[in-house]
Chain A
Amino acid sequence: MPKSVLIISRQSPWSGPGAREALDIVLAGGAFDLPIGLLFLDDGVLQLAAGQNAKALQQKDLSANLQALPMFGVEELFYCAESANARGLGKLSLDEAQPLATEHITALIDRYDQVITL
């Protein structure tokens, strides 16, 4: 049984390559059927904002990659409810992601064999 990995993504989508790289790790893990989870924390929850427009910055956006997560077998998708509330996020672009309160995030980290915070 391979070790389970939790990726904690806490970079905003437009500040640099961090958000995309975290997502690439998760997608690669999913493609190899690794038990992998993804938690959006702090500015990372901004990746889930609905209605983002990558064309305005002449970049590719993350939404296609985000929608691919369940297809790649990544079903453990979470976001920090407190981070999302603090940033005024309402409707999110990833229906599969579940909100977690702080105490449940502590338990989530405990449950995985490895944790990587990017």
Chain B
Amino acid sequence: MSTLHVLSHSPFGDNRLSSCLRLLGSADAVLLSGDAVYALQPDTAPFSALQERKIDLFVLVEDAQARAIAIPDWAKAIDYPAFVELSIHHAKVNSWL
């Protein structure tokens, strides 16, 4: 049983990302959308935390492009159709509202 965790808030304004990483199961994946893509701003604490954990990480490409965030090679850029597919491939989706 795997969970897709969907984050959409900036990691600099609250602790959703750090709590999510703390509770993440070994088969789980994380999708960054909206302001959550700011976690991939290089040379920041959230960036390092994600890089070190080597998790299954997905990023909505249009949200990253809109914010001028480069997607590192250890994350996978996806579009909305791929987001839908990703949701189906996991037993459940946990949106951190």
A-to-B contact residues, CB < 8 Å: 8, 10, 41-42, 82, 102, 105-106, 109-110, 112-118
Could you give, for residues 40-68 of chain B, a 1 whenever the CB lies within 8 Å of some chain A CB and a 0 otherwise?
A: 00000000000000000000000000000
Report the minimum CB–CB distance from A118 to chain B (whole Å). 5
| CB of A10 to closest CB in B, whole Å | 7
- Confirm or deny: B76 has a beta carbon within 8 angstroms of a beta carbon on chain A: no
Docked-complex contact A114 and B97, CB < 8 angstroms: no
Tell me if B24 is interfacial: C-beta within 8 Å of chain A. Answer: yes
Q: Select which of B15, B23, B95 is within 8 A of A105 by beta carbon.
A: B23
- Determine if A117 and B97 form an interchain contact, defined as CB atoms under 8 angstroms apart: yes
A residues less than 8 Å from B94 (CB atoms): 8, 109, 115-117
Chain B residues positioned under 8 Å from A106 (CB to CB)? 23-25
Q: Across the interface, which residues of A come within 8 angstroms of B16, CB to CB?
A: 10
Contact indicator B3/A42 (Cβ below 8 Å): no
B92 interface hit (Cβ, 8 Å): yes
Which of these, B1, B23, B92, B95, contacts A102 with CB under 8 Å? B23
Contact B92 A117 (CB under 8 A): no
Could you tell me the distance in whole angstroms from the C-beta of A39 to the nearest C-beta in chain B? 10
Within 8 A of A (CB), among B21-36: 22-25
B25 x A109 contact (CB < 8 A): yes
A10, B94: Cα distance in complex, Å: 13
Smallest CB separation, A79 vs chain B (Å): 13
